[in-house]
Amino acid sequence: MSRRARLVFFAVAAAALAATLGAGLAGLPSFGRQVSAYARMLNEVAGPQRHVTDVVSAITFDYRGVDTLFEEFILLAAVAGISVLLRPLSDEIRELPEDKAPDRAIPPPSPAVWLLAVLLSSLLALIGLETVTHGVLTPGGGFQAGVILASGIYVIYLGTNYRTVERYQPDALLEASDGIGAAGYVVIGLLGLLAGDAFLTNVVGLGTTGNLIAGGTIALLNLTVGLEVAGGFVILASEFLDQTAVIRARRR
Amino acid sequence: MTGVNPFISTSAVIPASVVVPLAAAALMAGFSRFLPRRARDLIAIAVALATTTLTLILMAASAGHPMIYWFSGWRPAGGMVIGIDYAVGPLGAGMASLAGVLASAALVYCWRYFDSARGRHHTLVLIFLAASVDFCLTGDLFNLFVAFELVAVTAFALTAYNAGHPAPLQGAINFAVTNSLGGMCVLMGVGFLYARTGTLNLAQIGQALAGHHADGLVVVAFALLAGGFLVKAAVVPFHFWLPDAYGSAPIPVCVLFAGVMSELGLFAVIRIWDTVFSGLAGGPGPRMRAVLLGLGILTALVGAVMALAQVHLKRMLAFVTMSHLGIYLIGAGLLTPLGLAGASLLVIGDGLAKSALFLGVGVVQHQRASVSETKLRGRGRGLAVTGVTITLGALVLADLPPYVSAAGHGLLVDAADRAGLPWLEIVIALCVVSSSAAVLRAAGRIWLGWGPGESPGPQAGTADDPGEESQDEPDTAGTNGGGQETREPPSRPERIPLTMVLPPLALLAIGLGLGLTSGVEEHAAAAAAAFSDRTAYAAAVLGGHGASVPAADRIAVPPTSAGRVLTDLGQVLAALLVAAIALDRRAARLRRALAAATGWLRRLHSGLVGDQVTWLAAGLALLAALGAAALH
Amino acid sequence: MSEAVIAVALVWVAASGTAVVLTRDPLHQAFVTGFFGLSLAFLYLSMQAGDVALSQIVVGAIALPLIVLLCLAKVRKDRE
Amino acid sequence: MSVLAYGVVAWLFLIGLYGVVTSRNLVHMVVCVSVAQSATDVLLLEIGYRTGGHAPVFVSLPAHPGPAVDAVMQALALTDVVVGATVTALLLALVVQVHKRAGTLDPDALRATRE
């Protein structure tokens, strides 16, 4: 199809699709007028049943915990997939950029920048830890905390140069964190089976509502997800960063 | 059955069938750098085989007795579903075990020669397998969406595995963009149904909709769900991504795609029809049958015509797959247990045969560095076993008895007769013969050196000729990711490793064995009947009376008659004849005329993602219009 | 009151989403995307979905624009 | 209000599709996919919204806080945000390699599967 033909065809198709979506949306209950009995029931019982105050985390990690299990593997698969796609191929090499002025030593990062980066990174780490540990109480949990922790690590990189990152980035540890986090979800699920109940049944002591350590497996799953997401996101970003910084075509 | 309730003894098997591959994948992702290569291969194969065994156990245990498993221990209370369930029946478990068999075969085939990028390839294959199992077993609509996305994410990455070549990358982009949009449609459909019924459980949604007349919301929810899943199933006009992705993915990945992934899309469409929409008031069945049959026939014909037009062997098999998907949709779209049973046996038989063909093509590619039928002309000498494999596979595509496909074909034709649509047999035969003839033509050219060597038609720009070859050979720099060691030169062993030659033969043997097993048709019919029974399904999931309705056993299966066998043999002969004509020098003008007549169809397959998304939008609107006509 | 806030957020989301699509230069688009992510987070917050809003901020306003920028940096480097 | 709320869903999805169809740059196209994807999250949360409802977080609430909004839809949207982000990242990785191997980012110039 030529561009013009495609645009005309799309205009017709999109108009028909708009009418279709309109017909569907028109059948929805008016905005803000209805909440399902299922949701009302869960809002009511989740607190007493699971000793958590954030019902969303109870649904995510307990009532519908299997969804989240597979969601974690979507992330794991995406990280593995991105590592595969962005791996250095046979016609590429990894090398640091050539020094434009080899006689001049690379200045070490200035102490002020370094200090700022460390401070900011510690702050992010604190926010991340707070987010993951309060998952059962307030909005936020393993996923959000993982991304915040990952960005904390990246802020440290901002305060230094890529040569240092290249040397000190703990690849094995990050991969292990990604894998253990995902495997941890499965293992916590197996606790239910070991206790003679169904997979992912919340069999750990529920604690007191309002405490940080409450909700049984919900808190544990938050932690393991945080571990996986933090490792996964650092790997993910570092694959893209590697492409920009160190992977280049082999000269022929 | 021995009288022991299979639910008790096998209940832990149900979660194990996804937990085993998931746990292995996670550990391999985390620690593969500490494992030697052979250990990675062995672990992956062992886990795939274990998953296959678990799903086979489930298939046997759930026969005549659906097994319901409530995750997190949340059973329905007060008439309300709380958690997520697996509703295991023999059809779903059988589909899952087919995924396991093909994943095992693909992994064995990878042994030694395939660079697995430090095990990440195996991680992705195992996650793909777990997601497929989840897809087949789940009883929850949103969980179905999550499985859809998980299958998709692994598949996008696997398609572009040979990231050093443009074709796989572009195929993956087309695939990823269209299928992501399909996923969004599915999710919007989920939202619509939740807004109407207040639940995400398939059985409970079906119960809430049963007896009601469909309004705009229900129709659009159907169109969005079915449309999203039909993108994955590559049904016209949602199919344009398929040849781009299957034609460029690595061979072991093609096996998973052609044998499992597209079929999952159809599986989902039939599952949501049977559990959710079939109970709508006004008897929508017959009209929906017309819609599904129309889509199926169109897909089968387009796939068959396009398959004959290809000289790129992987693209040819991609279109063969598409034609098959159309035939499965015809079978399932009859909306009778017998039709579904026929389609199921065809999925198994054709899936095994297509996988064998892909693996055979992989051997040729590995040894001769080409997948072009014309470039390979006469170069098959020394690859005799593979030649026999491919020829056998091609004959099986034409329903050579006693292979299991012949049984499926018989059931399907009988179902069409009973539905008063005997002419469907002719449509199916046409498509089957074309697909088979395309592959036989390639085999004749490659191994016998028959036919002209040049491209069959002068269609520059649309000639389905292979471009740059994307070899499945070691393509990762270094060996340990960070290292800068020079990689080993690609080894081209004189002897073909047995791990490449045997898996396709083993797959064909499985299909033959199933075909020779007595009672396979009855089992399929019983499984399909259990799958199609909405009220029995709902009763099993939600509890209540009628949980054990063995209506399944009462489906009469026609005996294999001599006429049936003769028809199948006739198809095989017709395929051989068409292949011979396609290779005959005297028929050059006929071929040119046909190529010219189908040029417009080949030009439609432009391989441009913008075109494909436009067709997707149009297809959705069309499906909604058809759905409105069928459901109202 | 809350209805008005949601209405404003909806209009904001629709406008910034349109802007993302109509910004044809990817580098500019990366910044508009961050803005769109924020507007979505605000909408979710106004609809009492704190968990989703937080996810949307870390993903839509931080992670996604960052990856887009890295991707564009690589593309620019290849062109040199 | 319903018209505005649900209209935004349809608008975001269609404008995203429009961007994909007319895109001249793969990075732009991928971001347009994510715009279409956000329509699904907005839809889910709107379905779960209840006027005057409070967040489904039962900490430091007044004695009679009134009804809460739907936490189930929020859990689904949460999953979908993650799914959307991972798919976008994967697509961008593909785009990086496409540019390397095909030398262009124009989707209409990519004919590698056709030659």
C55 contacts A233? CB cut-off 8 A: no
**Poorest-pLDDT segment among B322-336, B595-609, C26-40:** B595-609
D110 contacts B166? CB cut-off 8 A: yes
Percentage of residues in chain A having pLDDT higher than 70: 94
Q: Which of B15, B153, B223 sits opposite A20 (nearest CB)?
A: B223
The predicted-structure confidence for B85-96, as pLDDT tens digits, reads as follows 999 999 999 999
Q: Cα distance from A196 to chain C (closest Cα, Å)?
A: 33
Measured in whole angstroms, how far is the alpha carbon of residue B554 from the centre of its chain?
Answer: 29
Tell me which chain A residues have a C-beta less than 8 angstroms from the C-beta of B475: 89-90
Per-residue pLDDT at B10 exceeds 70: no
Which C residues 34-53 touch A at CB under 8 Å? 50-51, 53
Q: Return the pLDDT at B471.
A: 58
The predicted-structure confidence for D32-48, as pLDDT tens digits, reads as follows 999 999 999 999 999 99
Chain C nearest-CA residue for D92: C71
| Residue B300 and residue B267 in one domain | no
Per-residue pLDDT at B6 exceeds 90: no
Integer Cα distance of C56 and C15 in angstroms: 18
D88 contacts C14? CB cut-off 8 A: no
Q: Which of B149, B169, B243 sits opposite D97 (nearest CB)?
A: B169
The predicted-structure confidence for B512-527, as pLDDT tens digits, reads as follows 999 999 889 999 999 9
On whether the CB atoms of residues D67 and D50 are closer than 8 A, the answer is yes
- Higher pLDDT: D60 or B343? It is B343
User: C21 and chain A: CB distance < 8 Å anywhere?
Assistant: no
- Higher pLDDT: A12 or B116? It is A12
Q: Cα distance from A111 to chain B (closest Cα, Å)?
A: 29
Integer Cα distance of B265 and B260 in angstroms: 9
A198 contacts B84? CB cut-off 8 A: no
- Higher pLDDT: B549 or A14? It is A14
Average pLDDT over residues D94-105: 92
pLDDT band at A100 (very low <50, low <70, confident <90, very high): low
Q: Return the pLDDT at A106.
A: 62
Chain C nearest-CA residue for D96: C71
Q: Cα distance from B299 to chain D (closest Cα, Å)?
A: 21
A74 contacts B146? CB cut-off 8 A: yes
Q: Cα distance from A236 to chain C (closest Cα, Å)?
A: 9
Range of the domain at C44: 2-79
On whether the CB atoms of residues A236 and A79 are closer than 8 A, the answer is yes
Taking residue D62's Cβ as centre, other Cβ atoms within 10 Å add up to 7
Tell me which chain D residues have a C-beta less than 8 angstroms from the C-beta of A243: 96
- Higher pLDDT: B624 or B164? It is B624
Q: Return the pLDDT at D58.
A: 84
Q: Which helix (H) or strand (E) holds B70?
A: strand B67-70
Q: Return the pLDDT at A71.
A: 96
Per-residue pLDDT at A39 exceeds 80: yes
Per-residue pLDDT at B4 exceeds 60: no
**Poorest-pLDDT segment among B51-60, B578-587, C48-57:** B578-587
Domains of chain D: 2-51+68-106 (1.10.287.3510)
- Number of domains chain C is built from: 1
Of B493, B397, B506, B403, nearest in space to B442 by CA: B397
Tell me which chain A residues have a C-beta less than 8 angstroms from the C-beta of C56: none
Average pLDDT over residues B111-125: 83
CB under 8 Å to B8, separation ≥6 — which residues?
none
| Residue B263 and residue B293 in one domain | no
Q: Return the pLDDT at D91.
A: 97
User: C66 and chain A: CB distance < 8 Å anywhere?
Assistant: yes
Tell me which chain B residues have a C-beta less than 8 angstroms from the C-beta of A88: 476-478, 481
Q: Return the pLDDT at B544.
A: 63
D111 contacts B169? CB cut-off 8 A: no
Please give the torsion angle defined by the CA atoms of residues C1, C5, C11 and C15, in that order, rounded to the nearest 10 degrees: 160
Q: Cα distance from B470 to chain D (closest Cα, Å)?
A: 11
Taking residue B473's Cβ as centre, other Cβ atoms within 10 Å add up to 18
| Residue B625 and residue B578 in one domain | no
D25 contacts C24? CB cut-off 8 A: yes
The predicted-structure confidence for B527-537, as pLDDT tens digits, reads as follows 999 999 999 99
pLDDT band at C79 (very low <50, low <70, confident <90, very high): confident
Residue B374 φ/ψ, nearest 5 degrees: -75, -40
Q: Is residue B543 one of the residues assigned to a domain?
A: no
On whether the CB atoms of residues A186 and B23 are closer than 8 A, the answer is yes
A76 contacts B617? CB cut-off 8 A: no
**Poorest-pLDDT segment among A159-168, B170-179, B220-229, B290-299:** A159-168
Query: Chain A interface, mutation test: which of C54, C64, C80, most A Cβ atoms within 10 Å?
Result: C54
- Higher pLDDT: A212 or B284? It is B284
Range of the domain at B449: 284-454+497-520+567-583
| Residue B257 and residue B288 in one domain | no
Average pLDDT over residues A32-38: 90
Chain A nearest-CA residue for D48: A35
Q: Do chains D and B touch (3 or more CB pairs under 8 A)?
A: yes
B198 contacts A36? CB cut-off 8 A: yes
Which A residues 204-243 touch D at CB under 8 Å? 210, 236, 239-240, 243
- pTM higher than 0.90, yes or no? yes
The predicted-structure confidence for C37-54, as pLDDT tens digits, reads as follows 999 999 999 999 999 999
**Poorest-pLDDT segment among B150-154, B552-556, C61-65:** B552-556
pLDDT band at B632 (very low <50, low <70, confident <90, very high): confident
A247-249/B67-70 β-pairing: unpaired
Integer Cα distance of D43 and D62 in angstroms: 29
Q: Which residues are bridge partners to A93 per DSSP?
A: A248
Per-residue pLDDT at B591 exceeds 50: yes
Chain C nearest-CA residue for A131: C54
The predicted-structure confidence for B28-52, as pLDDT tens digits, reads as follows 999 988 999 889 999 999 999 999 9
The predicted-structure confidence for B566-577, as pLDDT tens digits, reads as follows 999 999 999 999
Per-residue pLDDT at D27 exceeds 80: yes
Tell me which chain A residues have a C-beta less than 8 angstroms from the C-beta of D52: 32
- Higher pLDDT: A160 or B276? It is B276
Q: Do chains C and B touch (3 or more CB pairs under 8 A)?
A: no
Integer Cα distance of B196 and B141 in angstroms: 14
Per-residue pLDDT at B422 exceeds 70: yes
Chain C nearest-CA residue for D52: C2
**Poorest-pLDDT segment among A91-100, A139-148, B265-274, B415-424:** A91-100
Which C residues 23-42 touch D at CB under 8 Å? 23-24, 26, 29-30, 33, 36, 40
Integer Cα distance of C26 and C20 in angstroms: 9
The predicted-structure confidence for B437-471, as pLDDT tens digits, reads as follows 999 999 999 999 888 765 544 443 333 444 444 55
The predicted-structure confidence for B237-279, as pLDDT tens digits, reads as follows 999 999 999 999 999 999 999 999 999 999 999 999 999 999 9
- Higher pLDDT: B387 or A92? It is B387
Q: Which of C50, C55, C66 sits opposite A237 (nearest CB)?
A: C66
Q: Which two tokens stand for residue B276?
A: 């959710």
Across chain C, mean pLDDT equals 93
Q: Return the pLDDT at A251.
A: 67
B613 contacts D20? CB cut-off 8 A: yes
| Residue B261 and residue B323 in one domain | no
- Higher pLDDT: B282 or B276? It is B276
User: C63 and chain A: CB distance < 8 Å anywhere?
Assistant: yes
| Residue B266 and residue B295 in one domain | no
Q: Which two tokens stand for residue B595?
A: 């190529």
Across chain D, mean pLDDT equals 91
Name every residue in A having a CB less than 8 A away from some CB of C: 32, 54, 56-57, 131, 138-141, 143-144, 147-148, 151, 233, 236-237, 240-241, 243-244
- Number of domains chain B is built from: 3
Tell me which chain D residues have a C-beta less than 8 angstroms from the C-beta of C78: 99-100
Measured in whole angstroms, how far is the alpha carbon of residue A199 from the centre of its chain?
Answer: 23
Across chain A, mean pLDDT equals 88
Tally the C-alpha atoms within 13 A of residue A199's C-alpha that lie toward its C-beta: 24
**Poorest-pLDDT segment among A9-23, A66-80, B128-142, B587-601:** B587-601
Burial (CB < 10 A; 0-12, 13-18, 19+), residue A213, is middle
Q: Do chains A and D touch (3 or more CB pairs under 8 A)?
A: yes
Of B218, B348, B198, B326, nearest in space to B273 by CA: B218
Per-residue pLDDT at B147 exceeds 60: yes
User: C75 and chain A: CB distance < 8 Å anywhere?
Assistant: no
DSSP letter string over B358-386? HHHHHHHHHHHS--BTTTTTT--TT-HHH
The predicted-structure confidence for B466-518, as pLDDT tens digits, reads as follows 444 455 555 665 433 333 333 333 445 567 888 888 999 999 999 999 999 98
D71 contacts A3? CB cut-off 8 A: no
Per-residue pLDDT at A197 exceeds 80: yes
| Residue B193 and residue B89 in one domain | no
Per-residue pLDDT at B181 exceeds 50: yes
Average pLDDT over residues A178-185: 95
Q: Cα distance from D111 to chain B (closest Cα, Å)?
A: 7
Per-residue pLDDT at D93 exceeds 50: yes
Of C47, B323, B332, B430, nearest in space to D47 by CA: C47
Q: Which of D25, D53, D88 sits opposite C26 (nearest CB)?
A: D25
Q: Return the pLDDT at B485.
A: 31
Q: Return the pLDDT at B467.
A: 43
B191 contacts D94? CB cut-off 8 A: no
Interface confidence, given as ipTM, is: 0.95
The predicted-structure confidence for A219-235, as pLDDT tens digits, reads as follows 999 999 999 999 999 99
Integer Cα distance of D78 and C50 in angstroms: 10
Per-residue pLDDT at B546 exceeds 60: no
The predicted-structure confidence for B309-337, as pLDDT tens digits, reads as follows 999 999 999 999 999 999 999 999 999 99
Q: Return the pLDDT at C1.
A: 53
B72 contacts A63? CB cut-off 8 A: yes
Q: Which of A139, A147, A243 sits opposite C51 (nearest CB)?
A: A139
Q: Which residues are bridge partners to B476 per DSSP?
A: A89
